[in-house]
Chain A
Amino acid sequence: MSDRRIALVPPRYGPDVVGGAELVLREVAHGLTARGWQVDVLTTCARDHHTWANHYPAATTDDAGVTVKRFRVVDDTSGTARADLIRTMALGEAPTLAQQEAWMNDGLRVPDLFHEILDTAERYRAIVVSPYLFWTSFAGGLVAPERTIVRPCLHDEPEARFELFEPLVTGVAKLWLNTDPEADLLDEIWPAHAPAEVIGEGIPVPESYDPAGFRKRHGLGERPFVLYAGRREGAKNWDALLDGFVAAVRKEDLDLDLVTFGVGEVHVPPDVEGRIIDLGLLSDRDKDDAFAAAAAYLQPSAMESFSRTVMEAWLAGTPVIANAASAVVSWHCDRSGAGLTYDDTTELEQCLRFVAEAPTEAAALAAPGRQYVLDHYTWPATLDRMEASLEAMP
């Protein structure tokens, strides 16, 4: 075993992969490599988490000093076990362990990745798997639990309580958590969990922003807009946000557009066309500028274990409007004082109205956000905590 060699096991990896947890592990890989760690990324050939199609070749490549080994996804099951589990839960019943095991194995599987870990686990000081819900983490995390660190990105969702995950949460060497609310949730669901440390994650701090250039490049003119970035899908409550925004626009004039970028389809009702603008995928530079150009950033997801985009908005000096159902984001808003939360569409509408009607006050609201991120979530501090944790591994 090399003292300073670790493996990171994300379900997907690459500069063109959309997903907060995956993005963070890539930054961890580069950050630790820069600090002299030998980092191997053991991952799949997939880029899209909906299809799990093998997009990249199964090969070993170099990503700026990080060794990336990709293994083919096998997705040859019928989906009946997943449907069965969903049906059981819809009836209000608890799925049995056998049902949970069948559910876990009824989707993407990566046998070659599992066997790579089986063959090479002893080479690594630590094997970091993340997030908890994916087969790669579940199967890979149990091969050598004594040297495995799970970065669960835990949400308060029914699956988090599945007996299936007990070995992954209680039997590994360590858990790396993002926030105190995630630690509270872990204590509540799995009181006998493995030793856990709040490591957090880091946000790269852009050197500068060009909001005017962003507006110009995308033809947005001078109209104020609110922004949503990331996966446009049900799991992120995108549909509810869209409905809430459309309802607010229809009710009476709301002098705000909604600009969005990321993956997933955006279905705009014809009567509000022009008020909702989908920019698709953006470059890193464009993303930063988008946050700076927005009047507010919207975070509708109730299932956040950190919320990187909220931090990016605050770094850019933009206030946040977030779903109060996310304990983590509410906690961030409360601690920083730089965000508003809503419990329903009426409150969302009022938040939007505040931003539209009191832009100066809204901008002032965002003021403490940047310092909050700089105080807690920069990469140097995060990597310091990670290194200390890794060095404490036997």
Chain B
Amino acid sequence: MSTPASATGQRILVVTPYPPVRDGIGAYAVQQVRALRRQGHHVEVVSPWPSAAHHHLPLEGPKGAKALKKLMAGFDRVIVHFHPDVFYANPSTPTSRISTGTALASAFRSGPPVEIRLHEVDRRWASASEQVEASSRSGFVATQVFEQAARASRAVFKAADEITVHVPEHERMMIDQFGVAPERVRLVDHGEDFTRRVPDDQAAARASLGLPAEGHVFVCIGFIQPHKGFDRAAAAFRGLDADGASLHIVGSVRVDDPSALDHQRELEALESQIPGVHLHLGFVSDEAFDRWIVAADTVVLPYRHIWSSSVAERARLYHRPVIATRVGGLADQIGEHPANTVVDDNAGLARAMAAAVGADASASAPVSTWEFDGPVDRSAVQAEIHRRAAAQRGIKVKAGPSAGAAKAKPGAVPEHVATPLRRLRAVPPPPATSARPGVSTVKRLIRRVIAWEVDPLREQLVDLQRASVKAAETADARLDEVADDHVDRHG
């Protein structure tokens, strides 16, 4: 391979998703690979699918673990970038966790020292009782299976020589829940291999991005996904444009993810509603990513779920303050910087953003974004609820309450075309439950057997319903505009 083993260098195998596939862990790992190679090590990479890695192996399941074990034999050291989706069936079952976990643990014990660099794992996997609670299964046999699954999951991490984590919370989780000896868990700097890609020149960065030179700039950046919570930042920003501030939501959407596309529409609707919010959709190169960070006065991480954040590390690299929600390991990750703020809820987020622009933070607590032009009666409130819900579903509606709705008769809730459609419940999977002993098991079995046939139909029905609602709501929004125009012209 390309890097000959130096006299002092080790032969290191890195197990990870890898470029040129777009993947956050891959982008992280390639920086580590570069650093290790520059230290004089001979580094080879194995990825779960063909890539720029030297090897590719389907790593999923016991077969994947066995293949990995064989490959590991030729190396002095192995670094595994751990994400369950790489190694386990998705979704995993207790039995698949037993077989995969056992095989992985065996591989990790097989020879060269193994470092697991932990990116994500479900903490419930370590505990049989939590798994039982989270599932619909119970009884002695189920408990035994879950206990075995938990043992196998713990064994994976115990088999490694070292677990490296990015935040103290995960260090505690590995020790307390997965039973890893404390001396084998090490906290590493998420950004230890990160380097700056652009000069720290805020004025130049803003000019290049077409941002105003003055005014507080908030930036939310990354893949557009519902769990990133960029909509929360937009809602919290409401009213701050009066102070000259702007919020820029920057990122791309994976077009093969329907939930991300829905979320994109929601953000577009929020952009049209909330002055000062700007959505910049499209691929962001590494260099442009850093320019956005440099252009920012504050980087906002309003995540709903996250383990740890590379965005936070890029912000730290340029000493930009961060406002982040207290999820996953974020608080631990950003907490050490005095300019950073960790918030617990949407109100806290709004307060922190107001404080960042120098607005009276206490005045904005509790934050109310419900403002009405006219009297606050039921019809106005109901109309606003419809409007916001429509925005959330991705329908573009005008800022502020609909005049037509606000001037409707008190108590009259306008009936919308979409209403009957929205009231339909999404088609659920057939419930695999029964009061009769044993029937639930049979139903579950049948469900598994016919899932390949039933699930696509169900998904199609759900998609159809969603599309119908969207179409009807677009028509409703247009009708509201016409009604508003009519009121404006004729009173």
Contacts and interface: CB of A to CB of B under 8 A. Distances in A.
Interface string B8-41: 0000000000011110000000100110011000
Contact of A139 (B45, B52, B282): B52
Interface string B226-253: 0000000000000000000000000010
B49 A105 contact: yes
Given A97-B22, A105-B21, A163-B255, A146 B2 contact: no
Given A109-B52, A170-B282, A115 B37 contact: yes
Interface in A101-128: 101-102, 104-106, 109, 111-112, 114-116, 118-119
Could you say which of B38, B198, B285 has the most chain A C-beta atoms within 10 Å of its C-beta? B285
A119 B37 contact: yes
Contacts of A77: 50
Given A71-B2, A145-B287, A167-B283, A119 B34 contact: yes
A104 B198 CA distance: 29
B284 interface: yes
A314 interface: no
Contacts of B30: 118
A101 B18 CA distance: 12
Contacts of B254: 97
B286 interface: yes
Nearest to B21: A101
Nearest to A58: B2
Contact of B20 (A76, A104, A173): A104
Contacts of B54: 111-112
B272 interface: no
A166 B282 contact: yes
Given A170-B282, A170-B283, A105 B20 contact: yes
B177 interface: no
Nearest to B285: A171
A138 B198 CA distance: 22
Interface of A (DSSP majority class) = helix
B255 A146 contact: no
Contacts of A97: 22, 254-256
B20 A139 contact: yes
B288 interface: yes
Contact of B38 (A98, A119, A146): A119
B51 A105 contact: yes
Contacts of A192: 282
A167 B285 contact: yes
Interface string A303-322: 00000000000000000000
Interface string B254-288: 11100000000000000000000000001111111
A142 interface: yes
A96 interface: yes
B22 A146 contact: no
B20 A142 contact: yes
A258 interface: no
B53 interface: yes
A139 B19 contact: yes
B51 A171 contact: no
Contacts of A101: 20-22
Interface string A146-180: 10000000000000000100110011110000000
Nearest to B33: A118
A45 B392 CA distance: 54
Interface string A260-288: 00000000000000000000000000000
B1 interface: yes
B138 interface: no
Could you say which of A71, A115, A138, A139 has the most chain B C-beta atoms within 10 Å of its C-beta? A115
Given A97-B256, A112-B2, A166 B50 contact: no
B157 to A, nearest CB: 29
B137 interface: no
Contact of A105 (B2, B50, B282): B50
Contacts of B19: 114, 139, 142-143
A146 B50 contact: no
B123 interface: no
B3 interface: yes
Contacts of A116: 2
Interface in A2-34: none
Nearest to A77: B50
A111 B51 CA distance: 8
B50 A171 contact: no
B286 A171 contact: yes
Contacts of A115: 2-3, 33, 37, 52
A98 B45 CA distance: 21
B197 interface: yes
A194 B472 CA distance: 39
B359 to A, nearest CB: 33
A109 B50 contact: yes
A57 to B, nearest CB: 14
Contacts of A104: 20
B255 A96 contact: yes
Contact of B197 (A102, A114, A142, A146): A146
Contacts of A106: 50
B179 to A, nearest CB: 36
B285 A170 contact: yes
A97 B1 CA distance: 30
A101 B56 CA distance: 15
A213 B52 CA distance: 50
Contacts of B33: 115, 118
A172 B286 CA distance: 9
Could you say which of B37, B38, B197, B256 has the most chain A C-beta atoms within 10 Å of its C-beta? B256
A40 to B, nearest CB: 15
Contacts of A166: 252, 282-283
Nearest to B44: A111
Interface string A175-197: 00000000000000000100000
Nearest to A142: B20
Interface string A231-253: 00000000000000000000000
Given A106-B50, A139-B19, A145-B287, A118 B256 contact: no
Contacts of B198: 146
Contacts of B2: 71, 111-112, 115-116, 119
Contacts of A96: 255-256
Given A71-B2, A118-B33, A146 B52 contact: no
Given A97-B255, A109-B50, A111-B54, A171 B20 contact: no
B52 A171 contact: no
A118 B34 contact: yes
Contacts of A135: 20
B73 to A, nearest CB: 20
Top 3 A-B pairs, shortest CB-CB distance: A171-B285, A96-B256, A112-B2
7 contacts: A109-B50, A111-B54, A112-B2, A112-B54, A145-B287, A146-B197, A166-B252
Interface of A: 71, 76-77, 96-99, 101-102, 104-106, 109, 111-112, 114-116, 118-119, 135, 138-139, 142-143, 145-146, 163, 166-167, 170-173, 192
Given A101-B20, A102-B49, A111-B2, 5 more contacts: A105-B49, A105-B51, A112-B2, A146-B287, A166-B252
